Amino acid sequence: MSQAFPPGFLFGVATAAYQIEGAVDEDGRGPSIWDTFAHTPGRIKNGDTGDVACDHYHRYAEDVELISGLGAGAYRFSIGWPRLQPGGRGPVNPGGAAFYDRLVDALLAKGIAPYVTLYHWDLPQELEDAGGWMNRDTAERFAEYAELAYGVLGDRVTSWITLNEPFVTTSHGYALGAHAPGRTLMEAAFPVAHHQLLGHGLATRALTAAGATSVGITQNMAPCWPADPDSEADRAAAIRLDGLHNRTYADPVLLGRYPDDLAGLYPGADLDVIRPGDLETIAAPIAFLGVNYYFPNRVRATPDHPFGFEEMRVPGAPQTSFGWSVVPEAFTELLTSLRDRYPDLPPIYITENGCAYPDEIHDERRIDYLRSHLGAVAAAVEQGVDIRGYFCWSLMDNFEWAEGYGQRFGLVNVDYATQDRTPRDSYRWYQQLIAQ
Ligand code: IFM
């Protein structure tokens, strides 16, 4: 399979700050919405929090060894906004900057390219108290923070990702309340989508003006299929979910406009938050599109459901321990459909793909998942889609948001009682693939 990847294709692994770092009170870090949310009883399975997580803050050197041992060419991690700029305003926190300095230097010493995500969901609590992503000012604050981060790491980091999965922030964080900050605004959460996109555009401009040459955004995307292709209602539900999940985020960045059906997607939402000039800002040129893919969305129209549809499993497809359907062909379909929909599509990096299975070391199912999904990427490359790299989610087991530590995505098993890291068979498999 490795022959199917073009020369220079990058193989990497990905993580995110709150999911692995721990050390939430150290060296001047401020609280984020995830600290607040995780400490609210009943929000996270088993009462888990990210207070310690994988203790990566103290064990980063060991983790860099693991990445290096894989032979990975790149590592995608996120900066914890409240670690670098504790209240989301004001100067850099020197303790936070020193940590990311150490991490980046350790990566570069091993020849691993850092891919830095600026926002992987840990909004400083102070900004949430001022309205969070419902407040337009958060977009301005985000751009200012991006510029600060570039000031700290821009001399050594080439690749910058503004946002991770803005759809999830809108849907899980502000519409449904399953993620921090736990708001339940339903379709009225549309301003969260818009302000994130605006923040992306402002940050892209700020980074570019500061000298960055490779700025992108990561969106989680999935084909949306009607449960019954012969049902008009199911087909309409699939189009609606495609709008909510994919087009709301990709169209403004890649086409400079919102989808035509925007008002129908967010009935009753305040669309006046879209001000003159915003779309031009959001469509600031990007060097790459980061795509996260896990499973396809199969939907059935369900009139009594609040959104009018519900998601279904794909019949006959195996499932991960999260209950996600394993359908690699959907990944190829997604990637070729992006090429078809967006005439000026920049190069794609797969910034996340992976699966959750229990804590076994002999994880044959994870190997099968990765093999088939890398094959799906290779098939898209063969069909002419410009894909430059693949980051496996995740280097190691970590805090899986509302699921706590119950879902394990790692190539490396983490024993949370001892913090021992044990490479799984999938780690060895990926290592061999990279070596080939
Ligand atoms: O763990 C998450 C990650 O933070 C964002 N993308 C999906 C992963 C698995 O759920």
Q: Is 46 exposed, middle or buried (0-12, 13-18, 19+ CB in 10 A)?
A: exposed
Query: In whole angstroms, what is the distance from residue 163 CA to residue 428 CA?
Result: 31
Query: In whole angstroms, what is the distance from residue 286 CA to residue 76 CA?
Result: 18
Beta-carbon contacts of residue 427 (< 8 Å; ≥ 6 apart): 66, 70, 411, 412
Predicted local distance difference test score (pLDDT) of residue 307:
87
User: Could you report the per-residue pLDDT of 91-143, keeping only the tens digit for each?
Assistant: 999 999 999 999 999 999 999 999 999 999 999 999 999 999 999 999 999 99
Range list of H helices, 211-354: 232-242, 248-255, 262-265, 278-282, 328-341
Q: Residue 400: CB within 6 Å of ligand 1?
A: yes
Label the pairing between strands 10-14 and 113-119: unpaired
Predicted local distance difference test score (pLDDT) of residue 306:
86
Q: Residue 397: CB within 6 Å of ligand 1?
A: no
Q: Which of 362, 203, 363, 233 is nearest to 300 (CA)?
A: 233
Under 8 Å between Cβ of 252 and 258:
yes
Beta-carbon contacts of residue 179 (< 8 Å; ≥ 6 apart): 37, 121, 168, 169, 172, 173, 401, 402
Q: Look at residue 112 and tell me if it is in a domain.
A: yes
Query: In whole angstroms, what is the distance from residue 423 CA to residue 23 CA?
Result: 24
In the annotation, is 62 catalytic?
no
CA distances in angstroms from 147 to 141, 160, 164, listed in the order given? 10, 11, 17
Q: Give the count of domains, the chain.
A: 1
DSSP 276: T
Average pLDDT, rounded, for the chain: 98
Predicted local distance difference test score (pLDDT) of residue 3:
56
Beta-carbon contacts of residue 129 (< 8 Å; ≥ 6 apart): none
- Which one is catalytic: 21, 165, 333, 400? 165
Q: Is 378 helix (H, G, I), strand (E, B) or coil?
A: helix
Q: Is 216 helix (H, G, I), strand (E, B) or coil?
A: strand
User: Could you report the per-residue pLDDT of 369-403, keeping only the tens digit for each?
Assistant: 999 999 999 999 999 999 999 999 999 999 999 99
Q: Residue 393: CB within 6 Å of ligand 1?
A: yes
Protein residue with its CA nearest to atom 4 in ligand 1: 16
> DSSP string spanning 255-274?
HSS--TTHHHHSTT--GGGS
Predicted local distance difference test score (pLDDT) of residue 49:
99
User: Could you report the per-residue pLDDT of 194-215, keeping only the tens digit for each?
Assistant: 999 999 999 999 999 999 999 9
Provide the token pair at 59.
């064990």
Q: Residue 122: CB within 6 Å of ligand 1?
A: no
Asked if residue 359 has pLDDT above 90, the reply is no
Q: Which of 389, 316, 313 is nearest to 9 (CA)?
A: 389
Query: In whole angstroms, what is the distance from residue 42 CA to residue 178 CA?
Result: 11
User: Could you report the per-residue pLDDT of 397-420, keeping only the tens digit for each?
Assistant: 999 999 999 999 999 999 999 999
Residue 115 dihedral angles phi and psi, to the nearest 5°: -115, 110
Q: How confident is the model at residue 312 (pLDDT cuts 50, 70, 90)?
A: very high
The interaxial angle of helices 425-435 and 364-382, nearest 10 deg, is 30
CATH number at residue 14: 3.20.20.80
Which of 33-42, 67-76, 302-311 shows the lowest mean pLDDT across its residues?
Answer: 302-311
Predicted local distance difference test score (pLDDT) of residue 119:
99
Asked if residue 2 has pLDDT above 80, the reply is no
Asked if residue 228 has pLDDT above 60, the reply is yes
pTM above 0.95, yes or no: yes
* Domain containing residue 24: 2-351+372-404
Q: Look at residue 248 and tell me if it is in a domain.
A: yes
- Which one is catalytic: 128, 311, 352, 400? 352
Protein residue with its CA nearest to atom 9 in ligand 1: 400
Q: Look at residue 424 and tell me if it is in a domain.
A: no
pLDDT average, residue stretch 182-189: 98
Query: In whole angstroms, what is the distance from residue 431 CA to residue 434 CA?
Result: 5
Query: In whole angstroms, what is the distance from residue 353 CA to residue 211 CA?
Result: 30
Under 8 Å between Cβ of 39 and 70:
no
Predicted local distance difference test score (pLDDT) of residue 1:
62
Provide the token pair at 296.
């396809």
Beta-carbon contacts of residue 410 (< 8 Å; ≥ 6 apart): 394, 395, 396, 397, 398, 424
What percentage of the chain exceeds 90 in pLDDT?
98
pLDDT average, residue stretch 255-262: 98
Pocket test for ligand 1, best of 15, 394, 399 (most atoms within 8 A of CB): 394
Query: In whole angstroms, what is the distance from residue 272 CA to residue 295 CA?
Result: 33
Pocket test for ligand 1, best of 44, 352, 369 (most atoms within 8 A of CB): 352
Q: Look at residue 122 and tell me if it is in a domain.
A: yes
Q: Nearest 5 degrees, angle CA 331-CA 368-CA 13?
A: 70
In the annotation, is 352 catalytic?
yes
Protein residue with its CA nearest to atom 2 in ligand 1: 400
Label the pairing between strands 420-423 and 412-415: antiparallel
Q: Residue 291: CB within 6 Å of ligand 1?
A: no
**Cis status of the peptide bond prior to 214, with omega within 30 of 0:** no
Q: Residue 165: CB within 6 Å of ligand 1?
A: yes
Classify the C-alpha dihedral 178-184-186-188 as positive or negative.
negative
Q: Look at residue 360 and tell me if it is in a domain.
A: no
Protein residue with its CA nearest to atom 10 in ligand 1: 400
Predicted local distance difference test score (pLDDT) of residue 400:
98
Asked if residue 48 has pLDDT above 90, the reply is yes
Query: By 3-state DSSP, what share of the chain in percent is helix, strand and coil, each rounded to 5?
Result: 45, 15, 40
Q: Which of 5, 58, 70 is nearest to 410 (CA)?
A: 70
Under 8 Å between Cβ of 75 and 115:
yes
Predicted local distance difference test score (pLDDT) of residue 209:
98
